[in-house]
Amino acid sequence: MNCKKVYLHICESLDEDLNSPRCREIRNHLDDCPNCRAYLDSIKKTITLYRMEPAPHVPASVHNRLIKTIDLSWKKGTRGKVTPKQ
């Protein structure tokens, strides 16, 4: 496995069975690649920090408007082009 493949699959591997073939390949690569090890460490630290923060309260009106906007963007085929209202 090379760095590019590790970058593509490393997040998925966090949720996989550690004995899966892909996880074994990633672990083998990480043993020899300090850059990918640093990348994995960064991901793990980010997840830890994220879990430490409480989820923000979002008013129902904002939540509903967001869901409608997402649904509309999917129907129109404008995914990624929708800007939120201020």
CA atoms within 13 A on the CB side of 6: 21
DSSP string, the chain: --HHHHHHHHHHHTTS-TTSHHHHHHHHHHHH-HHHHHHHHHHHHHHHHHHHSPPPP--HHHHHHHHHHHHHHHHHT-TT------
Amino acid 53: pLDDT? 87
pTM beyond 0.75: the answer is: no
Give the pLDDT of the chain (86 residues) as one tens digit per residue. Answer: 899 998 888 887 777 677 888 888 999 999 999 999 999 999 999 989 988 988 889 999 999 999 999 898 888 775 555 455 55
